[in-house]
Structure formats: structure tokens, C-alpha cells
Amino acid sequence: MPIIKLDAIDSTNSYLRLLCMEEIMPDFTAVVANQQTNGRGQMGTNWNSETSKNLTFSVFKDLSSLKTEHPFFISIAVALALVKTLRKFSVNKLNIKWPNDILSENKKICGILIENVIKRNKLNASIIGIGLNVNQTEFKNLPKASSLKLVSGKVFDLDEILDSILFDLKYYFFKLECGEFYDLKEEYENYLFKKNKPSTFKNADGSLFVGIIKSISLDGKLQVLLEDDILKEFDLKVLTLLY
């Protein structure tokens, strides 16, 4: 699988999206940058990373043969691939903060941005952007951020981690293409941050409430147990988990 390495780019997701519009892209093509000048995260946030200390990359995934009505399983496959890789490198206390932030010891070490490519009203491909904090040790004004070096005390080889992530992405997308939806959902829920614990949430109008995360729906909504034993589903755009 091709790996394109760049010294600096505004966004690996944007670069790869333009590339796949201009030519036929081999499955699992990766674009890696030593520096992203305008890296993007979920909900329009920026992803800041020190040059050459972390992994900032995007992967092209052909989904033309995938048969699912629930695109959130793409996020599930990616999150589980990252957890699998990090476990190989002895990173402990891993959780997935819904929908797809990766935490270690309750601090964020990895963010994911998935942008789907639609052709003829059908899901055709995904551009999977991944920002993994590896050897960076200072995160100004980001008290909930951490890195592999901070949680383990070790310095990591970026290429070795990248190769492992790509390998594990292939593994989980193979499971997805084989239709193992319920197995993937169960494994994802096993890593779900704050599952079965009272948590504080903020809804779209800014008000706070307490609930207990129980599971996710097939379309990726968070299922939260509220007062009076009411189980309610929430979309990403209307709910923030405070921790």
C-alpha cells in the first residue's frame, strides 16, 4: 500500500481528498505529514501537533463494496484498530470516548476525523484522518491531552507505529466487510469511556444533566440512562460529555 510522506501540509485529509478526485487511489493509501499547518478535528476544531514528534496522517479506504446502512461502523473499526495497536506497544488504561477519541489514563492521546466520499448517492470511500500524540510532552492550555511518551515514559518510532496502525485497520475493515457488526459493536462498547458510571453531560442549549452511559445504537448514537429509568439516545451534535 502506498505511503506518501510530506514535510508540511495544511491538512492531510484535504490533500488526500483532492488526490482521490484526480486519480484512482489504491486502497489504504496513506498520507503522512511531519507538520500540519491546519490540521482539523471533530466539529471544526483544530488539531495542534509539534513537528516530527507525533503521527498526523490520513488513510484512503475504498468502501464501494461495503454493505451497511450504518456508517458509524467505520468509526468503530478505526477506533478499535488504534486501540489494538496501542495495546501492542503496552499503552495501558485505554478507552474510547464517544464517538472516537482515544484516551489513556483518562487523557486524550488520539483524535480521529472521518470524511466520507459519496458518489451516486452511495457511500464510496472514506478519508480517515488520525492525529496520535506520540513523543510530544508539553500541551499548553490542553490539560486533558497526553501522549504515548507521557503515559509510558518511552520514546517511540513513528514509522513502526504507523505500520502497525495500517495493519490493524486492514484487520478491522476486513471484519466490517464480513458483516461482523454486532461483534464490532460489542468490542467497541467494552472500551467505552465512562460506561455504566454516573457522568455529567451538557446538551445543545448549555444546560447540564447527569446520566449513565449504557451503550450505542447501530447508527452511533449514545444511549444514556436518565432519571426514572428512561433510556435516551443522543447525537454527537447535541451532547457533550464533561470529564
* Span 140-179, pLDDT tens digits: 888 999 999 999 999 999 999 999 999 999 999 999 999 9
Place of cell 433510556: 231
CA distance 163 to 100: 20
Assess whether pLDDT exceeds 50 at residue 14: yes
Residues 20 and 63 in one domain: yes
- Residues 181-194: what's their mean pLDDT? 97
3-state secondary structure of 128: strand
| pLDDT attached to residue 47 | 54
Residues 232 and 167 in one domain: no
Residues 185 and 221 in one domain: no
Residues 184 and 238 in one domain: no
CATH of the domain at 148: 3.30.930.10
Say what percent of the chain tops pLDDT 70. Answer: 95
- Give the pTM: 0.93
- Residues 78-91: what's their mean pLDDT? 97
Cα 216 to chain centroid distance, Å, stands at 16
Give tens-digit pLDDT for 36-52.
876 555 445 555 678 88
Q: Helix 181-190 and helix 158-177: axis angle, to 10°? A: 140
Residues 174 and 230 in one domain: no
Q: How many structural domains compose the chain?
A: 2
CB neighbours (10 Å) of residue 178? 9
Residues 216 and 110 in one domain: no
Place of cell 487523557: 107
Identify which of 73, 63, 57 has the alpha carbon closest to the alpha carbon of residue 163: 57
**Residue 212 backbone class (left: φ over 0; alpha: ψ -120 to 50; beta: rest):** beta
Written as one string, the DSSP assignment of 134-177 is -S----TT-TTB--HHHHHS----HHHHHHHHHHHHHHHHHHHH
| pLDDT attached to residue 34 | 92
Last residue of a domain, one of 147, 173, 190: 190
The backbone torsions φ and ψ at residue 74, rounded to the nearest 5 degrees and listed phi first, read: -65, -45
| pLDDT attached to residue 51 | 85
Residues 44 and 89 in one domain: yes
CB-CB contact of 66 with 184 (8 Å): no
Residues 55 and 106 in one domain: yes
Q: Give the domain range for residue 221.
A: 198-242
| pLDDT attached to residue 46 | 54
Residues 229 and 127 in one domain: no
CA distance 2 to 138: 32
Name the DSSP class of 26.
P
Q: State the average pLDDT for the chain.
A: 92
CB-CB contact of 6 with 31 (8 Å): yes
Q: Which three cell numbers stand for residue 42?
A: 471533530
- Residues 91-120: what's their mean pLDDT? 94
Name the DSSP class of 37.
S
Assess whether pLDDT exceeds 90 at residue 75: yes
CB neighbours (10 Å) of residue 1? 13
